[in-house]
Amino acid sequence: MSHTTTVEDVTVIATESLSKRFPRVTALDRLSVDITPGVTGLVGANGAGKSTLIKILLGLSPASEGRASVLGLDVATDGSAIRERVGYMPEHDCLPPDVSATEFVVHMARMSGLPPTAARERTADTLRHVGLYEERYRPMGGYSTGMKQRVKLAQALVHDPRLVLLDEPTNGLDPAGRDEMLGLIRRVHTDFGISVLVTSHLLGELERTCDHVVVIDGGRLLRSSSTREFTQATASLAVEVTDTAAHPDGTAALRAALAEAGLTVRAAGRSGDGAASASEHLLLVDVDGDETYDAVRDAIARLGLGLIRMEQRRHRMAEIFRDDDGNDGNDGNDGNGSGGAADAA
Ligand SMILES: Nc1ncnc2c1ncn2[C@@H]1O[C@H](COP(=O)(O)OP(=O)(O)OP(=O)(O)O)[C@@H](O)[C@H]1O
């Protein structure tokens, strides 16, 4: 039997001019976006509308205007069918303190319709997957934030959904905890083939985890594209040269020569990328194919400068937004994320 590709195969979530208005605020403003299978990051500052979108996608809150579908099901009419097929990890702490992770996740599995034995088996598997072992029999009131986040992830996965919506799963975690959680999220897709929509206000952590990133601001779509597209299209070449007697400021001489050759050159100091920004001698040249490398090499040779280093870099998403928006990129990055972004170079 031949396989027919359906809209559902290529789009797990689709919204069309989706709006949500509260009396005092427009939380979503004519948002149209298609999300394909894989791991998708939904980025936006606090109040951008991320949680509101998730609640609409689960059929828990009606949109004021527009349409949305999840796995081909209409959020306005098929809410319960959507919730059968979709797992949800809420942002806030919602775990009863007096019960153990095992009891809680079994309960959630039973609520999703699994028979008792299957619920116990799936619970054991899922808690193991998220890295909870002996602790799973202890009351959750004594858990660390990281352990609570893992239980919240486990209950979203226990009924074997096709898609999970994870609302700020790294909230409250230290850098090591964030890394572990991001690794787990990645494996939800690679090990089980479950698509993931994960929200965060930190750009840095999503570029490492997601195939695709959707950025919203004030309820509007700012950008939607693959992570690779974001970073590849904007690769740059970091170049550092020596000064010479003929060119006491070798960096300035090279900069002028490259600009004359039609290349786009920026001082690394503007890019805010940690150690490199301390060096005024580092130039970042936008790469536009192999010719860029030849042009830089030729310019250095012509000027008789010494080459200290020449290395290719990918921009980080936070930098790209800063460049595009003409601000400092803090809309989507509260600073905690810079540690995550800093190791991406
Ligand atoms: N039930 C509600 N009644 C009134 N306003 C609301 C309600 N829910 C959300 N809002 C407002 O809608 C806007 C979007 O909120 P939302 O929670 O979706 O943002 P968010 O991107 O998830 O941010 P956060 O990370 O802080 O949760 C905010 O201005 C918020 O105050």
List, for residues 169-212, the tens digit of each pLDDT value.
999 899 899 999 999 999 999 999 999 999 998 877 787 789 99
Cβ 75 vs Cβ 69: under 8 Å: yes
**C-alpha 2 to ligand 1 mean position (Å):** 45
Mean pLDDT of 43-70: 94
In the beta sheet, which residues pair with residue 245? none
What helix, strand, coil percent values describe the chain, rounded to 5?
40, 25, 35
The residue nearest atom 2 of ligand 1, judged by CA position, is 22
Whether the per-residue pLDDT at 86 is higher than 90: the answer is: yes
**C-alpha 92 to ligand 1 mean position (Å):** 13
Cβ 193 vs Cβ 328: under 8 Å: no
**Ligand 1 pocket mutation, candidates 20, 50, 199, criterion most atoms within 8 A of CB:** 50
7 φ/ψ sector (left φ>0, alpha ψ -120 to 50, else beta)? alpha
Residue 218 CB–ligand 1 contact under 6 Å: no
Give Cα separations from 271 to 44, 201, 266, 280 (angstroms): 21, 20, 8, 11
**C-alpha 38 to ligand 1 mean position (Å):** 26
- Beta strands per DSSP E along 211-332: 212-217, 220-226, 236-241, 265-267, 282-286, 307-313
Whether the per-residue pLDDT at 232 is higher than 80: the answer is: no
- Residue 227's pLDDT band, with cuts at 50, 70 and 90, is confident
Over the stretch 64-81, which tens digit does the pLDDT of each residue have?
999 999 999 999 999 999
Each residue of 37-48: b (16+ CB within 10 Å) or e?
Answer: bbbbbbbbbeeb
State yes or no: ipTM above 0.90: yes
Rounded Cα gap, residues 198 and 201, in angstroms? 10
User: Token digits for 118?
Assistant: 């299957």
The residue nearest atom 7 of ligand 1, judged by CA position, is 22
Say which amino acid occupies 323: D
Say which amino acid occupies 67: R
User: Domains in the chain, start-ordered, CATH in brackets?
Assistant: 7-225 (3.40.50.300), 235-313 (3.30.70.100)
Rounded Cα gap, residues 182 and 170, in angstroms? 8
pTM for the whole structure? 0.73
Rounded Cα gap, residues 300 and 294, in angstroms? 10
- Average model confidence (pLDDT) for the chain? 84
Mean pLDDT of 34-41: 95
Q: Which residue has the tokens 């930098």?
A: 319
Dihedrals phi, psi of 153, to nearest 5 degrees: -70, -45
